[in-house]
Structure 1
Amino acid sequence: MQPEIIDVLIVGDESQLAQLHAGLIEEHPWLRLCGIATSLSEARSMLEEKRPQLVLLDNYLPDGQGITLIESELLKSLKCSVIFITAASDMHTCSQAIRCGAFDYILKPVSWRRLQHSLARFVEFNKTQRTWKVVDQQNVDNLYKLQAASFQQDASSKGIEQKTLQRIEQFFAISEDRCYSIEDVVAETGLSKTTTRRYLEHCVDRGVLAVEMQYGKVGHPRRLYRRESGAQ
């Protein structure tokens, strides 16, 4: 049985990060972005209207905390799953999310490949649930394994071309202490924004680059990249 198309709602008020996640969803053949909500109230309206099967949910929103949405009767009535993506590193929030059945809990700054891994597991989890009408213990164990499968960092990645990777790494080798936005790297290398983002996140996963969030007085925080100290 093939997977079914899964509608995904993004809930978060950081526009750059939301667009990053939207790109991942749109690249996946069995995921479909149904909207981006920037507040709890907007999320509730879009949940009722769009009725998604999965929500990528931030905790810190302008009108409250995302954890309250996981606990809500609305989400339960829709049988909608949640991948919690947040800077909330306290055990209380993490425990709440787990108790309320969050499929995954990912801390910011988000690893591109870590989120890819989580989305792929959810697609497989959803397909497996539809395949089995009656379960035995092995089926149950397999479902739990899909939900809890650990993410393994892997230096290799599909779609990564060595010459392009070298261009990115050489750019950052010139100024090790300086931070650059995606737009800075695009202007310097001439690569497309989508390609640049993929290679930057690949370098983050390999430990070559580090991510910093720049919080200004106005607007949303920016995702900046710098060469990791000690990187070869």
Structure 2
Amino acid sequence: MDQTLKVLVIDDDFRVAGIHASIVDASPGFSVVGTARTLAEAKTLIATFSPDLLLVDVYLPDGDGIDLVGTSNIDAFVLSAADDIKTVRRAMRAGALGYLLKPFPQKRLVERLDRYVRYRHVLSGTQGLSQDKIDQATAILNGTQAPVTVSRSATEQLLLDALEGQELSATEASEAAGVSRATAQRRLAAMASQGVIQVRLRYGQSGRPEHLYSKPLL
């Protein structure tokens, strides 16, 4: 996925919002389009920037963040200190893709963002989805191993072996596996779309970002 995903952070504590925004901005493939402290500010920023993802607190000065999740028609993670069952279930019913209890370590949000990129990658394109694809996307988002229902070809297995314990570009993977770069790139992209491996973008000084492939940690 080459496009940068736009994120809106919504939290009434500007310091917390700033921390979350800095984590998002440091994550490859994401950019923060703004931070909002109220529902009114959030709605204005949504209309202005059309974000791809919301990071929403529950309790805001002028309303309820979960209501925004349910009405915005935008992917969202709820980030809240509220740990009661009623609130968590209400967030899930509203369509939240995940619920993170504050405070949480930085790596937890980084991990959720990584899963979200992979989830979007599987659910990209214009063709209809098979049940396997839907199951894979759900498994990736929930941090479980996506089911693999097709056997790996010899070439794919060579690439998987090359990725063992390391992150490689298509060129590096092709050299390690002993296959052509075009073949490696094609097979790696296919396995990433199936959730078998994960992909992230590395931004250099200039030019297009480079895709890096790795096996997900189980």
TM bin (shorter chain): 0.5 to 0.7
Contact 1:3 1:123 in 2 (8 A): no
Cα deviation for residue 65 of structure 1 reads 1.6
Residue 14 of structure 1: aligned partner: 13
Cα deviation for residue 117 of structure 1 reads 0.5
* Distance (whole Å) between structure 2 residues aligned to residue 4 and residue 127 of structure 1: 11
Residue 94 of structure 1: aligned partner: 88
Indicate yes or no: 2:134 matched with 1:135: no
Residue 170 of structure 2: aligned partner: none
Q: Which amino acid aligns with 2:139?
A: K
Residue 41 of structure 1: aligned partner: 40
- So what's the TM-score if we normalise by structure 2? 0.63
Give runs of aligned pairs for residues 1-232 of structure 1, distance below 5 A: 2-72=1-71, 75-76=72-73, 80-131=74-125, 133-149=127-143
Secondary structure (helix, strand or coil) at the match of 1:134 reads coil
Q: Which amino acid aligns with 1:121?
A: R
Contact 2:67 2:94 in 1 (8 A): no
Unaligned runs of 5+ in 1: 151-232
- Alpha-carbon deviations, 1:15-43, whole Å to 9, x = none? 22111111111112210110000001111
Residue 192 of structure 1: aligned partner: none
Cα deviation for residue 128 of structure 1 reads 1.6
* Distance (whole Å) between structure 2 residues aligned to residue 83 and residue 16 of structure 1: 19
* Distance (whole Å) between structure 2 residues aligned to residue 50 and residue 61 of structure 1: 21
Q: Which amino acid aligns with 1:105?
A: Y
* Distance (whole Å) between structure 1 residues aligned to residue 129 and residue 70 of structure 2: 27
Contact 1:3 1:124 in 2 (8 A): no
Contact 1:7 1:53 in 2 (8 A): yes
Contact 1:125 1:146 in 2 (8 A): yes
- Alpha-carbon deviations, 1:56-81, whole Å to 9, x = none? 00011111221111122xx12xxx10
- Alpha-carbon deviations, 1:138-172, whole Å to 9, x = none? 1111011012116xxxxxxxxxxxxxxxxxxxxxx
* Distance (whole Å) between structure 2 residues aligned to residue 120 and residue 13 of structure 1: 25
Q: Which amino acid aligns with 2:112?
A: S
Contact 2:56 2:65 in 1 (8 A): yes
Secondary structure (helix, strand or coil) at the match of 2:6 reads strand
Query: In 2 relative to 1, CA 131–3 (structure 1 residues): closer, same or farther, beyond 3 Å?
Result: farther
Contact 2:122 2:133 in 1 (8 A): no
Secondary structure (helix, strand or coil) at the match of 1:105 reads strand
* Distance (whole Å) between structure 2 residues aligned to residue 137 and residue 14 of structure 1: 41
Residue 166 of structure 1: aligned partner: none
Unaligned runs of 5+ in 2: 145-218
Cα deviation for residue 132 of structure 1 reads 6.4
* Distance (whole Å) between structure 1 residues aligned to residue 60 and residue 50 of structure 2: 21
Q: Which amino acid aligns with 2:130?
A: D
Q: Which amino acid aligns with 1:114?
A: R
